[in-house]
Amino acid sequence: MDILRKVKQHREEQEQLKWVGTFEEYLELLKERPEIAQSAHSRVYNMIRDRGIEQHKDSDVKKYPFFSDHIYGLEESIERLVEEYFHSAARRLDVRKRILLLMGPVSGGKSTIVNLLKRGLEEYSLTDEGAVYAIKDCPMQEDPLHLIPYHLRDEFYEEYGIKVEGTLSPLNQMRLEEEYGGRVEDVLVERIFFSEDRRTGIGTFSPSDPKSQDIADLTGSIDFSTIAEYGSESDPRAYRFDGELNKANRGLMEFQEMLKCDEKFLWHLLSLTQEGNFKAGRFALISADEMIVAHTNESEYRSFINNKKNEALHSRIIVMNVPYNLKVTEEERIYEKMIEDSDMSHVHIAPHALRTAAIFTVLTRLKESHNQGIDLTKKLRLYDGEIVEGFKEQDVKDLKNEHQDEGMTGIDPRYVINRISSAIIRKDAYSINALDVLRSLKEGLDQHASISKEDRERYKDFISVARREYDEIAKKEVQKAFVYSYEESAKTLVNNYLDNVEAYCNNHKIHDPITGDELNADEKLMRSIEEQIGISENAKKAFREEILIRISAYARKGYKFDYNSHERLREAIQKKLFADLKDVVKITTSVKTPDENQLKKINEVIARLVDEHGYNTHSANELLKYVGSLLNR
């Protein structure tokens, strides 16, 4: 089998990566590649950075491919996380002495972010850039540089440019004396590979019943079976260094539901975060270099902050909000990914069904603006990158700064996917459309225990808004499919419009190719197109001049200008074509017993919807019937 061959190949590749040598040989390795001695925080940041950093020319926000393939619509939050925490911590600023607390609503992406970091570290430790070396056979995969005595560390920094922090653990101190006779240069060092399953460099702690939870889960415990052999509980050989803090050393420690933990578990984090060590058994403080990541929701965090007993931890936590996505297009991608990963991937979901659901979901997460000219629908469009007349890019930035907690409440993606599943099961069909999804979403609100009565009524209003948005989309979809040779019709119309705009702006006449007459610019034609997108009589001159400027800019760069080159012009052309065709669509789709001509037209439209727009025959027929009923209202 091919899969077995690949497993064998992977195993052989890992074998080739293994390395064992003396500390003296490790120092020679450091001279060639000092980056292998990086801290846990630095390793995480470099792992993210090595996957690339993207920045769109029209946006100040950076995108990180490490996250963007899995986390949608949270570019600002991810950038803040990477730059304000990971980057600062990697530079050894005081931020590295803080617990990273991801705070946000359920199903918002907190756990996904942590899982990406854990999986990423596992893969990164297999690369040359992310290689990790530790004292051989150490249960805590201790940094070999701890072997360097304190009085020589300044000299070591001058020669190697590497700062050494932390002390040798009690176990390795004993091994150094007994196994190596104090000869630091002979201590064996090995390359290790992070693995959550093998508990190497990645730890996960999840609180259980406070009465049964043992602190040993964090710091390890005494091995009573060896007391007789070693004679004392303070002998490090009689201690199991197998707590999560021990095993996460050099990498990442995930503290699930940290704020639900008993206080005694959190006390250990005070010393670990600030001083880089923790207390275990009857030993001196044990050094550990690890990033601690926790996650919680807002209500639990508020309760934690209000508890005076937790004040010592407050200053040792950096809170990063992970809100819900507020972009319709990105929300649609979330649903697509969740469906691909489920057993529903074989079901045909008609075009715009997921987008309609996304419109409803994002509306539940938005907060009303203090700007009276902005309603939630306009805000939704602006956030999604659409052009809304009268608003600029700066307005979008101002809107985002208006409510710091926007996106921390609302409907979560899992609810939507659950309702889509319900719609599929109820309909018992291999095709569902936007109306099926909206109907299921509405019915599910009454069964959602955590939604208040007030929110439930508000959410039902949002379903009506999403329905109206879908109505417009559906009408455009059908009207567009009815246009024979749509692109050609659009090109002809736009060329005619541009000829007239040029004549109008330059105060020239138009030459009629048929009669040879010199004609004035066709004001009626230009206004019939401009009115489709709400261009007023007073604004028409500025709009036409803007079009000419765009044409000139394209010409200078050697590009050809067409109706797709200007977004608002494209919208105007489409609406004009649709308006001219509306009566034809209305008649054809509403006739119960179409004649041969009408039937032929309907079949052509269905074929076009299937071939060019992503419908299947069933969903295309349903769309035609629905649009027919809309146009006849």
On whether both 513 and 426 belong to a single domain, the answer is: no
Segment 20-28 mean pLDDT:
95
Is residue 554 in some structural domain?
A: yes
315, pLDDT greater than 70: yes
Domain boundary among 437, 467, 497: 467
On whether both 559 and 458 belong to a single domain, the answer is: no
Domain boundary among 281, 299, 321: 321
- The total number of structural domains that make up the chain: 3
Angle between helix 596-613 and helix 617-631 axes, rounded to 10 deg: 120
On whether both 268 and 335 belong to a single domain, the answer is: no
Is residue 156 in some structural domain?
A: no
On whether both 446 and 351 belong to a single domain, the answer is: yes
On whether both 371 and 348 belong to a single domain, the answer is: yes
- Location of structure tokens 């020319």: 57
Residue 214 pLDDT class (50, 70, 90 cuts): confident
Q: What are residue 511's phi and psi, to 5 degrees?
A: -90, 120
On whether both 280 and 372 belong to a single domain, the answer is: no
Domain boundary among 295, 321, 347: 321
Supply the pLDDT for residue 520: 87
On whether both 572 and 551 belong to a single domain, the answer is: yes
Supply the pLDDT for residue 1: 62
Report how far residue 90's alpha carbon sits from residue 202's, in angstroms, rounded to the nearest whole number: 18
Sequence-distant (6+) residues with CB within 8 A of 180 are: 186, 187
In 3D, which of 71, 66, 76, 17 has the Cα closest to residue 44?
Answer: 66
297, 104 in Cβ contact below 8 A? yes
Is residue 561 in some structural domain?
A: yes
Where residue 112 sits, what CATH number does that domain have? Answer: 3.40.50.300
On whether both 499 and 572 belong to a single domain, the answer is: yes
Report how far residue 369's alpha carbon sits from residue 372's, in angstroms, rounded to the nearest whole number: 7
226, pLDDT greater than 60: yes
Supply the pLDDT for residue 486: 65
Is residue 338 in some structural domain?
A: yes
Is residue 595 in some structural domain?
A: no
Report how far residue 539's alpha carbon sits from residue 203's, in angstroms, rounded to the nearest whole number: 63
In 3D, which of 491, 485, 492 has the Cα closest to residue 604?
Answer: 485
On whether both 214 and 122 belong to a single domain, the answer is: yes
Residue 32 pLDDT class (50, 70, 90 cuts): very high
Tell me: the pLDDT tens digits for 436-493? 999 999 999 988 778 888 889 999 999 999 999 999 999 888 887 877 656 777 888 8
On whether both 551 and 458 belong to a single domain, the answer is: no
Angle at 187 between CA 183 and CA 188, to 5 degrees: 160
Is residue 348 in some structural domain?
A: yes
95, 85 in Cβ contact below 8 A? yes
190, 184 in Cβ contact below 8 A? no
Q: What percent of the chain has a predicted confidence (pLDDT) above 70?
A: 95
Structure pTM? Answer: 0.83
Q: What is the DSSP string of 385-445?
A: T---TT--HHHHHHHHHH-TTTTSSS--HHHHHHHHHHHHHHHTSSEE-HHHHHHHHHHHH
Is residue 475 in some structural domain?
A: no
Residue 304 pLDDT class (50, 70, 90 cuts): confident
Strand 188-192 and strand 132-135: the pairing is antiparallel
Segment 119-126 mean pLDDT:
96
On whether both 309 and 368 belong to a single domain, the answer is: no
Structure tokens of 290?
């690890």
Q: Which of 120-124, 334-338, 431-435, 516-520 has the lowest mean pLDDT?
A: 516-520
Is residue 559 in some structural domain?
A: yes
- Give Cα 48 distance to the centre of its chain: 14
313, 296 in Cβ contact below 8 A? no
- Cβ-based neighbour number of residue 88 at 10 Å: 18
Structure tokens of 465?
């808004």
Domain that holds residue 84: 39-130+192-321
Segment 288-294 mean pLDDT:
93
123, pLDDT greater than 70: yes
Report how far residue 288's alpha carbon sits from residue 246's, in angstroms, rounded to the nearest whole number: 7
Supply the pLDDT for residue 250: 94
Report how far residue 504's alpha carbon sits from residue 286's, in angstroms, rounded to the nearest whole number: 81
On whether both 310 and 362 belong to a single domain, the answer is: no
